[in-house]
Structures are given as C-alpha cells and as structure tokens.
C-alpha cells in the first residue's frame, strides 16, 4: 500500500534492489532514481514507511554499489537523517559499522563517510586515535586537509594526540595545510587545553618561525598564534590588520612593552634588561605608531580598536596612547576618526582618559567635524568630561554654541551635551551665570538680536547647573522663567533624568523663588537623592555602582552600603518607565521604600510653612522612583504599592492643605478642590480596603491618615453631608483608640484632640465648627512609618480574551449575553465577597457575584475563567460595557448600599475598568 505513494521508477528500483539481494546482480542506482528519492525525502507528507524503505535501500546500496556512487548516496542519507531525525541514529550506526573497512588506507571515501557522519550527528564526533593518525598521515593531501580543518571543531580528538600532530603538520609542504594546522592550534588554545607552559611555548615558537613563511595565508595564521609586533611592517595589508586585531586581544602585557610600542626608538629602561627583552623591545618599538601611520584605513582602524583593550591595562600607557589618538583625529577617513573617538569614549568610561589642556584644543576641533557620526561621538565624550578650569569650560561652551550655528540639525544633541556640561560643572556655570543672565535678558527685552538657538542653549546650561545641586545657586530665578518658554525645545536635553512635565515643575519651582522667600532646601530633607555619578549612568548601559546618598536627618547615609546596585534613582518620564525598569533585590526594595517613607515626617514642617511646592516636588519625585522599580517577587511589589498609595494620599493632602488649613484663596475654583477631596476619599478607602497584613504600628499610621482625610473634609464648611462623614470618622476613631489601648500606646496630639472633639459633640458633627477641626489639623504630623514585608495588596487581574473594537462579542437584544472573563485575584480570602461590576453608558450597573470557592487556588492567588452573564442587553446595534472586579468593603459598612441582589456594602475596585465591546448578531 505504501508503495503506491511512490513514483513508479522508485518502486521499480527499490523492488529490483531488494529482490536481487546479491551483490553481482545489483544495478547501480540511476540519477533519476536519486532525484525521485530526494523528492520523497524532502516531501514532508511522505509516509514514514516509504522513508524507511528508502533508507534501507540506500544503506543496502552502499554495500553493493561502486564507490563512485557513494558520495551521492551518503549525501542522500545525510539529508534523510536531517529531515527525519528518527532515522538519524540508525544511519549513524550503519555508517559507523562500515567505516572500519574503509580506513585502510584512508582515502577520499573515508573522508566522505566521516563528513556524512559529522553532518548526521550534528555534534562533534569523536574519532579514535588510530583512525585520526592514519588519516593525518595519509598520502592524499585533501584527506589530510579535511582532518586538520575539522579537528577540534567537528571532530574531537584527544588534545594530547592532536597537539603533536598539529605541530608536525605546521611543517607540511603544502601552505594551506600549514595554515589550517596553525588555525587548529589556535582553536586548541582557545579550548584552554594548554595547561602547561611548555606546550604554549612550543606552539608560540612554531608560530614565530612561520611568521617568516613565504605564503601570506600562513603568515596571517601565524600572527593569530603569536600576536607579535614584529610583523607590523609586513608588506601584506591583511597580515597587518590581523596583527593589530591580535594585539587587541592581549590581556597581559608589561607596561614597559606597551610604552615601547608607542616609541620607535628603543627606550632605555631602569633595570638592566635581559637580552631577550631587548630583542622583544626592538620588535615592539613603535608598533602602534606604524599602525596609525599605515596606508590602509583598515589597519589604522584596527589599531584604534586594539587600543580600546590595551589602554585599560595601564593608566600610564593610556595617557601616552592618547597622544597617538589625538593625531588620528586628523585622519582623512571618517571610519578611523570615529573609531578613535569611540576608543576615547571607552577610555573615559574606564576612567583612563585625561584630556590635557593642549589636547583640548584639538579635541574641540573635532566637535566641528563635518561628519555627523564623528561629531556625535565627540559629544559623547564631552558629556563625560570633568574640565579642570574655567577657561576650558568656557571654550568648550563656545565651541558647542558655535556648533549650533554650523550644524543646526544637531540641536537636540548639543542641548543634551550642554545640560550634562552644566550638571558636571556647577562651579563654572555659577561663574558665568550673571553674564548669561544679562545676555538672555537683553535678548528677551529686544535689546539685542534674538538668536533663539543660542538663547535656548544658554538657558539649558544655566538651568542644568543647580539641577543636581539643590543648594543656593546664583542663577537668577528669572532664567528659569525664560527657560519655561522654551520648554518643548529644551526638554529633550533633560530626557535622561526627567520628562517634560517634571521639567516644567522644576522650572516653575525654581522661578517661583523669585516671589517667595528662598527656602533652603538642603537643610531640609527634600534633597533629590539622584545618583551622584549620574554621568556614568547616562554614559551607557554598563553596570555602574551608584552611590546614593539619602539625607534622613541623621546625616548622610549612603544607601550603597545596603548593597544597592542600580536602584532606579533616575527620574524617568512615566511613559518610558516600562523600558527602563530594572529588577531590584527584594530586601533592598523594602529598605529603599522605608528610606522614602521615613522622610515624610521631616517634610511636614514645610507643608505647614507654606512651601508646598517644594514638598510636592519631592513627593512627585519619590513617587516616580517607586514606580520605576520592578520586582522579582510579589512581596516587595505589594509593599511598594502600599507606599505609593500612601504617598499619593499625602500628596493630595498637601495639595488641599493650603486652601483648607491656611485658607488661602482658591485659584482654580472650588470644583477642583472638591475633586481633590473626592479623590482623597477614594484613595483613603483604597488604603483601608485593599491592603491586609498590617502590623499594629502600620495600622495606626494608616488609621491616622484616614482620620486626617476625614478631618480635612469636615474642615470644609460648605460640606453638606457632615453628619455622614462624622459618623464614619467616629468609627475609625474608635478603632484607632482600641488599637492604641491594646498596645497601651499614647495617642498622638492630633488623635487625642480629635477624640475630645468627638466626645464633646453628642449630636454628630453638625455641632462642631470647622475651626475646631482646623485646630486638630494643626496638630497633625505624619507618623514615622517603617513598613515590613507582611503587607499584602489585594488586587485582581481581569482580561476578556479575543475582544477588541474590531472583534466584538455577539449579543442578541433582550437575551442574556455571556462575557468570558479570565479573572485572577490576589490576597483575597474565600470569606470575602467579590463582585463583577458591569456598567453601561446610560449608568445602569449590574453586579454578578463571584463565588470565590469555585476559584482555582494556588497560594494567595486565585484564578477562574468564567462566562459572566449580562442580562439587560439593549436594543442597539452595538454597545460597550465597563467591567471590573470589586470587593465589598466590610471595613466601614456605615450605610449599606441598597442594591437589588447586588453587594450589600460599598465596592472597592480591585482593578482598572475593562471595556467590553459587544455587537448585535440578529
């Protein structure tokens, strides 16, 4: 039956072959049969049995057909095994069994068998000693070549055997065999089997001998073995390129030799050198100088590349090599100039780049290069620069400003460089601050020609200086106001540390010190804990140990002692937070969160003394830091979510504080204030309901914060639902009191005052004046909060598979629609009451109860895939539903929500609302 699937010719041949199983009667397989077999093999739908019969035929014919056919048959067998891996082992076994008959003497056929074997097995094949030696000593040159070429990569031989054979091979009469033998020695060396110095030495010596080989290809390989400087003047360009590539791979070179390579004259050394060293030195002399003078740019580029590694080896050498690199900056080839700059950049990252004053001039010229790659690369170095004196700073600045004129297309990059320059050289910016301010002011007032690019650049430089150094700066606040007018143009210059909005806030904050008395932020604790070596973070993605200092009121405390690596301390624009998130060790996260939380009590005096702007800036900054963290496990994520919410509440409190407590004029109208209070209320509820596992201390802090939010609401005299809020507050207060009693703690001034207020007012909050609440508020100060790992975040993940505006779910009006939901809930015990809430645009809400018992439980996580029914499908062609998961808030069931079969208490939402698209089918 199987045979029916095969072309007739194949069937015929196969039959013939199988029937006439005697060697004499065998007909050689024709070309046509080969092709048909090939087709069958390649066709994936060929039945297995056919394949295996082809396989049998092939193996069979190997034994009985003339040798000239073997290579084709072997090729087919190899193809067959690669397409039908189940047969590979069988193929291997069969071929292996045939091998011994072919090895005496080894011939082309042996190699073909071996090649097929290696191809089939797809991994290095082990060859026994006798086979290996017999092949290596074979009379036929291609046979030997195959073995040398494959030894150490596709064919595995004992290194003890391979080494002497290869050494012998390096004396072969055939150049390509010598070449391959050297390459194989390199491979052998790379596998690190050379544990003995004597072996390396032998190899090295042979390499040296072959450096004077007459054949170019042999010399190239010899260079790879020895990496010697003595051939830098070789007449073949490729040899020279290889030399410098080889030099770039060196890991241990003495400083003396490195220095020697920069001087064509043999240097005189202090200690009396050995004869061997003198010879070596004369070989090495000027090797790198010759390299950079080479006619071929490939060689020059290769030299610059090799300097990348070599400069790291010795600082002294790096300084000397810089001289050479400065010369290369004059090269006519862009590739070479670019590579030289890249090398310098690499040196800068490795702290071995020191641009002396005399080099600076030359270097600044490069900034005006007409190749954009070169300019960008040069500017990359400027970003990392720490200039020694004011003059250098000034000339660098001038060149960059000039650059702006000549290459307006580079504006964004130049601004960014200027911002780095400013951040790194605050003291110099301070020196010219007034000068800049005069110029800018004159321009803005129309007294001078208005060069907007130049203005923007000067502003970038000025505003970047106080950025990392929050202390008093001589930059006039008006500069910040001017800068704000260029916001969209200059925000890219700070994109590495803040986004547009943060920049605006920063500018406003700085410029506002114009009207308000300057508040010294540095002796408060709101200092931005940005990485000190921020420069390096910007430099690349290298892991750089950031030293973070956080002022916790007890002096500077380097966080790095908690072994923090790369804690995300850069402010990130929220939209690209995702790309920059970095995983952080759990315990470190907790420490880090606590360091932020601990600072809250310290900023409170400032809230009371009307410096809300500064406080808000710090809060916003901490918030962003927290959002930028990523986590290995859920525990720190939960703690971080808690801290984030806590901060958000504090932030809202601070935002409404001025208006409510200090009774300042509400600028933007009462609606906004009302909104904020509403938001605060929601957040407070969230804090109470969405977190469990508080310690007593944490619980009290939370409760106190919630009491604060209620008090704030009660302060607002217009509020109509006073009684209701007062009632809720009373409940929370009682809870707080009982907690305090339990721990026999003393209530804080705020709580105590509130308590007496509650006790006094017998008939609800209506009787209390808002002034009384004001007095309470004045006593408030956030508790020093240290959170532990126990906090759990109750949350849910909801997904509706296969639904989007293009693929809506079907419904028939009037009939129940089913909405398939994948729900995962975290940290919610089965005795909680969870609901699916579905809202339609007209405001109608439907709740569906979730039976938590029916969820699939694994630890704190519960999962279910559930088709939620929606009953009230409207008479529309299509509609959207907002779906989300909520939890009944049992915590403060003051006024049960009246629902028909719905939740008895208010729902606290556990996830974002998801939109479900439905479309009518009938």
Binding region for another protein (CB under 8 A): 133, 136-139, 141, 144, 160-161, 163-165, 167-169, 171-173, 195-196, 198-199, 212, 214, 230, 233-235, 264-265, 282, 285-286, 289-290, 292-297, 324, 326-328, 330, 332-333, 361-362, 365, 368-371, 406
Nearest CA among 294, 346, 289 for reference residue 320: 289
Closer by beta carbon to another protein, 158 or else 759: 158
Closer by beta carbon to another protein, 317 or else 642: 317
The CA-based angle 477-478-484, given to 5 degrees, is 100
Closer by beta carbon to another protein, 144 or else 847: 144
How far is residue 646's CA from residue 683's CA, in Å, rounded to a whole number?
A: 9
CB of 144 to another protein, least distance (A): 6
Instruction: Give 615's contacts (C-beta < 8 A, 6+ positions apart).
Output: 526, 603, 606, 607, 654
CB of 165 to another protein, least distance (A): 7
The CA-based angle 725-727-732, given to 5 degrees, is 95
Closer by beta carbon to another protein, 303 or else 548: 303
Q: How far is CA 660 from CA 97, 311, 677, in A?
A: 94, 63, 11
Closer by beta carbon to another protein, 317 or else 870: 317
How far is residue 504's CA from residue 492's CA, in Å, rounded to a whole number?
A: 12
The CA-based angle 681-686-691, given to 5 degrees, is 150
How far is residue 171's CA from residue 164's CA, in Å, rounded to a whole number?
A: 12
307: exposed, middle or buried (Cβ count in 10 Å: 0-12, 13-18, 19+): buried
832: exposed, middle or buried (Cβ count in 10 Å: 0-12, 13-18, 19+): middle
Closer by beta carbon to another protein, 286 or else 765: 286
> For residues 450 and 443, is the Cβ–Cβ distance under 8 A?
yes
Structure tokens given for 166: 């290869």
How far is residue 420's CA from residue 681's CA, in Å, rounded to a whole number?
A: 42
Q: What is the DSSP letter of 833?
A: -
CB of 276 to another protein, least distance (A): 14
How far is residue 11's CA from residue 33's CA, in Å, rounded to a whole number?
A: 9
Closer by beta carbon to another protein, 335 or else 672: 335
Length, in residues, of the chain: 922
Closer by beta carbon to another protein, 369 or else 525: 369
How far is residue 684's CA from residue 867's CA, in Å, rounded to a whole number?
A: 32
Structure tokens given for 556: 């500077």
- DSSP letters, 837-887, are EEEETTS-EEEEEE-GGGSEEETTEEEEEEEEEE----SSSEEEEEEEEEE
Structure tokens given for 140: 């036929």
Rounded to 10 degrees, what is the CA torsion of 204, 210, 216, 218? -70
> For residues 626 and 640, is the Cβ–Cβ distance under 8 A?
yes
Residue 740's CB is within 10 A of a number of other CB atoms, namely 19
**Beta strand 155-156 pairing with 125-126:** parallel
Closer by beta carbon to another protein, 407 or else 724: 407
Closer by beta carbon to another protein, 264 or else 759: 264
Segment (H or E) for 155: strand 155-156
For every residue of 721-765, which 3-state class applies, written as one string? CHHHHHHHHHHHHHHHHHHHHHCCCCCCHHHHHHHHHHHHCCCCH
Structure tokens given for 353: 């780049």
**Beta strand 914-920 pairing with 582-584:** unpaired
> For residues 277 and 304, is the Cβ–Cβ distance under 8 A?
no
Dihedral over Cα of 151, 156, 159, 162: its sign: negative
Name the residue with tokens 């050379």: 194
589: exposed, middle or buried (Cβ count in 10 Å: 0-12, 13-18, 19+): buried
In the three-class reduction of DSSP (H, G, I as helix; E, B as strand; rest coil), residue 239 is classed as helix
Q: Is the peptide bond before 887 cis (omega within 30 degrees of 0)?
A: no
Rounded to 10 degrees, what is the CA torsion of 862, 867, 872, 876? 120
CB of 492 to another protein, least distance (A): 25
Phi-psi region for residue 719, left (φ > 0), alpha (ψ -120 to 50) or beta? Answer: beta
Dihedral over Cα of 73, 78, 79, 83: its sign: positive
How far is residue 79's CA from residue 69's CA, in Å, rounded to a whole number?
A: 16
């Amino acid at each position: 039956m199987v045979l029916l699937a095969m072309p007739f010719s194949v069937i015929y041949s196969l039959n013939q072959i199988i029937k006439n199983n005697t060697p004499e009667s065998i007909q050689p397989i024709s070309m046509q049969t080969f092709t048909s077999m090939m087709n069958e093999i390649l066709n994936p739908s060929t039945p297995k049995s056919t394949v295996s019969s082809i396989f049998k035929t092939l193996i069979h014919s190997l034994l009985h057909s003339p040798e000239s056919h073997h290579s084709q048959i072997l090729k087919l067998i190899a193809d067959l095994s690669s397409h039908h891996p189940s047969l590979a082992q069988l193929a291997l076994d069969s071929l292996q069994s045939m091998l011994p008959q072919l090895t005496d003497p080894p011939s082309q056929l042996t190699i073909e068998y071996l090649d097929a074997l290696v191809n089939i097995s797809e991994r290095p094949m082990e060859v026994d000693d006798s086979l290996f030696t017999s092949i290596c000593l074979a009379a036929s040159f291609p046979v030997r070549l195959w073995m040398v070429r494959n030894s150490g990569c596709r064919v595995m031989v004992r290194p003890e055997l391979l080494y002497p054979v290869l050494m012998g091979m390096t004396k072969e009469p055939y150049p390509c065999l010598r070449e391959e033998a050297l390459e194989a020695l390199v491979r052998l060396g790379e596998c690190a089997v050379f544990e003995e110095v004597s072996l390396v030495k032998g190899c090295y010596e042979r390499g040296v001998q072959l450096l004077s080989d007459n054949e170019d290809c042999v010399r190239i390989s010899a260079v790879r073995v020895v990496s010697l400087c003595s051939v830098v003047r070789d007449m073949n360009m490729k040899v020279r390129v290889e030399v410098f590539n080889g030099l770039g791979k060196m890991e241990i070179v003495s400083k003396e030799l490195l220095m020697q390579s920069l001087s064509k004259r043999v240097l005189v050394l202090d200690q009396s050198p050995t004869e061997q060293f003198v010879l070596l030195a004369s070989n090495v002399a000027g090797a790198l100088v010759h390299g950079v003078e080479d006619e071929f740019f490939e060689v020059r580029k290769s030299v610059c590349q090799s300097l990348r590694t070599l400069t790291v080896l010795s600082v002294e050498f790096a300084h000397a090599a810089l001289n050479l690199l400065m010369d290369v900056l004059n090269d006519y080839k862009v590739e070479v100039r670019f590579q030289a700059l890249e090398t310098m950049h690499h040196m800068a990252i490795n702290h071995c780049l020191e641009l002396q004053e005399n080099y600076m001039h030359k270097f600044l010229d490069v900034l005006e290069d007409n190749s954009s790659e070169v300019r960008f690369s040069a500017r990359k170095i400027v970003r990392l620069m720490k200039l020694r004196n004011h003059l250098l700073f000034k000339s660098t600045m001038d060149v960059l400003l000039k650059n702006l004129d000549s290459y307006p297309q580079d504006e964004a990059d130049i601004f960014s460089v200027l911002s780095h320059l400013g951040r790194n050289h605050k003291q110099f910016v301070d020196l010219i601050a007034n000068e800049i301010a005069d110029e800018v002011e004159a321009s803005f007032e129309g007294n001078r020609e208005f060069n907007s690019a130049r203005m923007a650049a000067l502003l970038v430089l000025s505003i970047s200086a106080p950025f990392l150094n929050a202390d008093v700066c001589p930059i006039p606040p008006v500069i910040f106001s001017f800068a704000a007018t260029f916001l969209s143009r200059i925000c890219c210059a700070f994109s590495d540390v803040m986004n547009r909005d943060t920049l605006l806030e920063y500018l406003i904050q700085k410029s506002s010190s114009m009207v308000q008395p300057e508040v010294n932020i540095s002796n408060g604790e709101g200092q931005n804990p940005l990485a000190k070596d921020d420069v390096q973070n910007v430099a690349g993605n290298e892991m750089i140990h950031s030293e973070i200092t956080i002022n916790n009121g007890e002096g500077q405390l380097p966080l790095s002692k908690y072994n923090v690596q790369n804690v995300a301390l850069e402010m990130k624009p929220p939209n690209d937070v995702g790309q920059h998130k970095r995983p952080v060790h759990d315990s470190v996260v907790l420490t880090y969160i606590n360091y932020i939380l601990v600072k809250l009590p310290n900023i409170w005096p400032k809230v009371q003394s009307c410096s809300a702007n500064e406080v808000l800036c710090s809060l916003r900054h901490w918030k962003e830091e927290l959002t930028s963290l990523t986590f290995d496990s859920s525990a720190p994520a939960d703690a971080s979510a808690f801290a984030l919410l806590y901060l958000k509440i504090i932030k809202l409190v601070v935002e409404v504080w001025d208006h409510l407590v200090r009774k300042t004029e509400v600028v933007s109208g009462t609606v906004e204030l009302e909104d904020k209070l509403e938001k605060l209320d929601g957040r407070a509820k969230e804090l109470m309901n969405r977190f469990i596992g508080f310690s007593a201390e944490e619980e009290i802090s939370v409760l106190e914060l919630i009491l604060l939010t209620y008090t704030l609401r009660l302060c607002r005299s217009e509020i109509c639902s006073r009684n209701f809020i007062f009632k809720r507050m009373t409940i929370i207060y009682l809870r707080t009191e009982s907690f305090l009693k339990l721990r026999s703690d003393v209530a804080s001034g705020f709580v105590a005052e509130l308590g007496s207020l509650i006790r006094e007012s017998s008939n609800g909050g209506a009787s209390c004046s808002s002034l009384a609440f004001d007095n309470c508020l004045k006593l408030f100060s956030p508790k020093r909060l240290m959170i532990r790992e126990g906090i759990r975040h109750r949350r849910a993940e909801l997904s509706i598979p296969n639904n989007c505006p293009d693929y809506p779910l079907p419904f028939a009006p009037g009939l129940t629609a089913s909405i398939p939901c994948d729900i995962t809930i975290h940290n919610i015990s089965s005795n909680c009451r969870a609901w699916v809430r579905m809202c339609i645009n007209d405001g109608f809400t439907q709740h569906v109860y979730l039976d938590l018992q029916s969820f699939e439980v694994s630890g704190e996580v519960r999962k279910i895939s559930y088709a939620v029914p929606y009953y009230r499908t409207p008479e529309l062609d299509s509609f959207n539903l907002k779906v989300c998961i909520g939890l009944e808030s049992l915590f403060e069931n003051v006024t049960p929500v009246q629902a028909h079969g719905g939740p008895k208490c208010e729902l606290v939402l556990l996830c974002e609302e998801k939109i479900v698209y439905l479309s009518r089918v009938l």
